[in-house]
Amino acid sequence: MQFDRILITGGAGFVGSSLALLFQGRLPHATVIAADNLQRRGGELNLPRLRDAGVAFEHVDIRVADDLDRLPDFDLLIDCAAEPSVQSGTSGSPRYVLDTNLAGTINCLEAARKRAAAFLFLSTSRVYPIAPLNALPYKECETRFCWEAAADVPGFSKHGVAEEFPLSGARSYYGASKLSSELLIQEYVFNSGLRGLINRCGILAGPWQMGKVDQGVVTLWVARHQFGQPLQYIGFGGQGKQVRDMLHIDDLFELLCRQIESPQLWDGRVYNVGGGNGVSASLCELTELCRDVTGNRVDIAAVPETHGVDLRIYLTDARRVTEEFGWSARHSVRTIVEDVHAWLTDHHDDLKNVLG
């Protein structure tokens, strides 16, 4: 597919701004528009980068349909806008996460439908339910928890969690809002002829991510080491052995470029996208990498109690996306940590106020 006008919602956030800059560099003929409501701290630091690269910026709140209606025309919408915290709504009202992630996606779908534009949705591995994932057999290894074989569970193997993993069960308001959005995208494909694609991403990481305790763990870990701030191993006994796979933002971009070149596959299908076991780390393994790369050690407290939405292990089985697009993650966990550390070093004064 040839796209001349690309709209990226959440365009001042880490993922959105990174993709906007990468697409503008890769497709100089295209007009790239970044739309964002600028509610997340640190997003304002991306505006000069977008402007200098020739990316147009629109102050838009996707919860407001009129904001999207007044935008210039576009032929591809990449929906990166989200309240990304898995803990959103777990204490108090979930209204904000639902309004942003579900109602906001509905508004984006309508904006795309009206313009006959294609729709690429960045979903999450958090659509998979918590209890079945935590019930998978595991053993405690020296530096991480390790899954063991369970041949009777659909969509689960030594490669990790595939798209066929059962979806019955609670998954957090965040995960539920994303799964609901996926279902609506498929309805728009079926009923309105929308060209749509869904990527269920694991942990995305890289420079310009404003990491927090509940989202952006890699940046948080590197930044705390860089700026000498304490950390905590929270849950599962407080040992830091819980495991996630990771994906460098540049690897995600390369996948999106390949997907754009395969229009015959834009039929609402779903892909699990992540680094898999080869690009994974436990928190204590991530700590050792951060110590090695930054040269610093910080205090890390143990909090044994586990939050209800936490996962012991999640690893992506990305074989479907590899088979259909010839894609795989290229950046190792060490490379991700090194890239984040270099960014923190280059922008030390600005970022200390945000991440320090």
Domain 130-160+206-247+275-356 in CATH 3.40.50.720: yes
Does an H or E element contain 77, and which? strand 76-79
For 153-282, strand residue ranges (E) read 156-157, 160-161, 196-201, 203-205, 231-234, 243-248, 267-273, 280-282
Identify the pLDDT of residue 212. Answer: 77
Scored b (16 or more CB within 10 A) or e, 275-301 reads bbbebbbbbbbbbebbeebbeeebebe
Does an H or E element contain 120, and which? strand 118-124
| Backbone region of residue 28 per phi and psi (left: phi > 0; alpha: psi in -120 to 50; beta: other values) | alpha
CA–CA separation, 252 and 275 (whole Å): 10
Q: Which residues contact 4 (CB under 8 A, 6 or more apart)?
A: 29, 30, 31, 75
Identify the pLDDT of residue 1. Answer: 72
Identify the pLDDT of residue 355. Answer: 83
For residue 242, what are its two tokens?
A: 């819980």
3-state secondary structure of 245: strand
Q: Which residues contact 48 (CB under 8 A, 6 or more apart)?
A: none
48 burial type by CB count under 10 A (0-12 exposed, 13-18 middle, 19+ buried): exposed
Residues of the chain with pLDDT under 50: none
Identify the pLDDT of residue 39. Answer: 87
Identify the pLDDT of residue 215. Answer: 79
CA–CA separation, 148 and 169 (whole Å): 22
Identify the pLDDT of residue 346. Answer: 95
Mind listing the pLDDT tens digit for each residue in 88-119?
999 999 999 999 999 999 999 999 999 999 99
Query: Which among 39, 82, 246 has a CA at the least distance from the CA of 180?
Result: 82
- The reply to whether 1-128+171-201 and 130-160+206-247+275-356 are identical in fold is yes
For the chain, the domains span: 1-128+171-201, 130-160+206-247+275-356
Paired residues of 102 in beta bridges? none
Domain 1-128+171-201 in CATH 3.40.50.720: yes
CA–CA separation, 332 and 155 (whole Å): 25
